[in-house]
Structure 1
Amino acid sequence: MNTLIPVTMVLSLSLAPMKTVEMPQLPEHVVELFKMEKDVSNHQILLFTASWCPACVQMKTNEFPALKEKNWDIGSDKSNHIRVIDVDQHQDLSDKYGVQSLPTLILLIDGKEVSRSGALNAYSIAEMFYNRK
């Protein structure tokens, strides 16, 4: 027997207000990663993303505020800790790095790829950046 969901129920669910989620603080062991004396001026994470990618939006919304709170520069500039690259606008870079899924994070040290990953939490992004994984 097929059960149909009434259209009014579907509409009411889709129009339900979203709850505000409070941003959790970074755990102390994560904060310690940011205090390390290692020279990371030659490190950069490339984040390949798209506006239509739910996992990308979720990572930016949930993880980036904690990183920004610790003075991480996140944006499209080549000097940022995390350089955000929209695949729809920069197909050439997507092809150059062989990006096949979103989000893709690629750690560059001295301009060379050292590691890559899919979506990560703030702690794992910091570990990746400091090349501790």
Structure 2
Amino acid sequence: MNTLIPATLVLSLSLAPAQSVEVPALPENVIQLFKMEEDVSSHQLLLFTASWCPACVQMKNNEFPALKRQNWEISESESSHIRVIDVDQHADLTEKYHVQSLPTLILVVDGKEVSRSGSLNAYSIAEMFYNRK
């Protein structure tokens, strides 16, 4: 069994605890992505994460509020825009998608992986979801 190590773990150990920051509004071009009439009902982002991963916690705290303000559903539900998958609880999915580092975002369209990335800001997450990246 592989041990997952967040890419920023070494750096984060020397940093002070994360503080809450003001989350900026999404840029207008991202807001336009949300208004597109294209059918994205088959799109879902899988976020592989863990409670012990500092980069995962930082992404959730700093980037997700802006997406939630645009009515994105972010949860463990299979019907949400971003499906949060805890690697400690879902080893089967972690193995299936060959996740090697955290956080990992995987865009799935019609059940097939289209792209993947590490930690992203809200703008890049929206771009990835709409497959514009």
TM bin (shorter chain): 0.7 to 0.9
Cα pair 2:44 2:82 within 8 Å, conserved: yes
Aligned to 2:6: none
Alignment of 1:28-39 (within 5 A): 28-39=28-39
- CA shift in 2, pair 1:23/1:95, >3 Å: same
Cα pair 2:21 2:62 within 8 Å, conserved: no
Aligned to 1:100: 100
Aligned to 1:63: 63
Alignment of 1:52-131 (within 5 A): 52-131=52-131
How far apart in 2 are the matches of 1:45 and 1:121?
14
Structure 2 stretches of 5 or more lacking a match?
1-15
Letter in 2 for 1:103: P
Letter in 2 for 1:64: F
Secondary structure of residue in 1 paired with 2:22: coil
How far apart in 2 are the matches of 1:82 and 1:101?
18
Letter in 2 for 1:105: L
State which structure, 1 or 2, has the greater radius of gyration over its C-alpha atoms: 1
Secondary structure of residue in 1 paired with 2:32: helix
Detail structure 1 runs of 4+ shifted over 4 Å in the superposition: none
- CA shift in 2, pair 1:63/1:20, >3 Å: closer
How far apart in 1 are the matches of 2:60 and 2:20?
15
Letter in 1 for 2:25: Q
How far apart in 2 are the matches of 1:111 and 1:19?
37
Aligned to 1:42: 42
How many residue pairs get matched?
118
> TM-score of the superposition, structure 1-length normalised?
0.85
> TM-score of the superposition, structure 2-length normalised?
0.85
In the TM superposition, residue 131 of structure 1 has moved relative to its aligned partner by 0.4
